[in-house]
């Protein structure tokens, strides 16, 4: 039995190590080669930089107009998350606490919507956003993200609300607390781990989204990091030294965010696994 357990652990460790290498090797190639001139990248892609240079980063920063792209991406991510947290969390709470045929139907429709790819909605989506004057606007794009993040955010919130004792809410209402105030002061702090989880998942989407962002933002001054990256690759397809530096610049802000947020994300995932 002990030998079998040891073998199982060894196989599990080996499988995890392989998965780790699959993730880290491309990241290693991107980062190390971003500090090399093009000639050195062509000679040995896996080696450490011999002629260390930061010229790639200065050129990538200039070509990407990185400060402006980062600002636009950050604004979209923040505004989109605000709407998702406010509206979707309240929607999930209401569906859970007011369970009837109507709310169940809405919930099932939202869950079904999660299976529809954005590509299937592109044409009607483009027409609707144009009619509503939401195109070429960071706020307009954020509002569209609010709508598209409702299903997953509502689903996670609905599961988290089930863990909150109804008696706490009833006591607050008896003491004269309004429903809105009771939600934000009492319920929301109790489900904040789950809310932070879906906010983080959505942030990964907002930050890396290209298709919808390209569809709605055509002005050069409104380019996000992903649109700027695509423009850079179109202009200099074989300039791998600059391209790899640009990729590193694009990854770093999101990497830093996830390192900071990982504790809350794990707490929220654990809470959903136990309480949902």
Half-sphere exposure at residue 202, Cβ-oriented, CA atoms within 13 angstroms = 31
pLDDT digits (tens, 9 = 90+) for 61-106: 988 889 999 999 999 999 999 988 888 889 999 999 888 888 889 8
Whether the Cβ atoms of residue 156 and residue 197 lie closer than 8 Å to each other:
yes
> Residues 130-155: what's their mean pLDDT?
89
Computed over every residue of the chain, the mean pLDDT equals 84
pLDDT, greater one: 108 or 44 = 108
Q: What is the CA radius of gyration of the chain?
A: 23
What pLDDT, on a 0 to 100 scale, did the predictor assign at position 275?
45
Which residue's entry shows tokens 């919930």? 107
pLDDT digits (tens, 9 = 90+) for 2-34: 677 778 888 888 898 898 888 888 888 888 888
Q: Is 90 exposed, middle or buried (0-12, 13-18, 19+ CB in 10 A)?
A: middle
What pLDDT, on a 0 to 100 scale, did the predictor assign at position 266?
61
What pLDDT, on a 0 to 100 scale, did the predictor assign at position 243?
85
User: What's the token pair of residue 15?
Assistant: 């499988």
User: What's the token pair of residue 139?
Assistant: 């706020």
Backbone angles phi, psi at 104, to 5 degrees: -65, -40
- Residues 6+ positions from 52 with CB-CB distance below 8 Å: 35, 36
What pLDDT, on a 0 to 100 scale, did the predictor assign at position 265?
62
What pLDDT, on a 0 to 100 scale, did the predictor assign at position 264?
64
What pLDDT, on a 0 to 100 scale, did the predictor assign at position 267?
61
pTM (whole model) above 0.85: no
User: What's the token pair of residue 255?
Assistant: 């990497």
């Amino acid at each position: 039995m002990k030998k079998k357990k040891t073998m199982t652990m060894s196989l599990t460790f080996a499988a995890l190590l392989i998965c780790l290498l699959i993730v880290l090797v491309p990241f290693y190639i991107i980062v190390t080669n971003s500090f090399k001139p093009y000639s050195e990248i062509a000679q040995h892609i896996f080696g450490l930089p011999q002629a260390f240079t930061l010229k790639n980063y200065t050129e990538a920063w200039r070509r990407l107009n990185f400060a402006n792209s980062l600002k636009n991406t950050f604004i979209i991510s923040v505004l989109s998350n605000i709407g998702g947290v406010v509206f979707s969390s309240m929607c999930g709470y209401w569906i859970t606490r007011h369970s009837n045929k109507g709310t169940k139907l809405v919930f099932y429709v939202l869950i079904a919507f999660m299976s529809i790819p954005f590509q299937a909605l592109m044409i009607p989506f483009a027409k609707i956003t144009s009619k509503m004057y939401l195109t070429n606007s960071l706020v307009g794009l954020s509002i569209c993200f609010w709508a598209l993040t409702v299903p997953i955010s509502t689903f996670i919130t609905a599961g988290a609300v089930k863990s909150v004792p109804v008696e706490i809410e009833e006591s607050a209402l008896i003491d004269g607390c309004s429903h809105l105030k009771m939600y934000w002061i009492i319920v929301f702090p109790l489900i904040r781990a789950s809310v932070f989880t879906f906010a983080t998942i959505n942030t990964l989407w907002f930050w890396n989204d290209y298709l919808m962002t390209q569809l709605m933002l055509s002005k050069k001054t409104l380019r996000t990091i992903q649109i700027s990256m695509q423009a850079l690759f179109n202009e200099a397809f074989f300039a791998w030294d600059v391209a790899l530096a640009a990729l590193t610049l694009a990854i770093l802000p999101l990497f830093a965010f996830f390192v900071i947020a990982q504790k809350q994300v794990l707490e929220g995932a654990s809470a959903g696994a136990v309480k949902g």
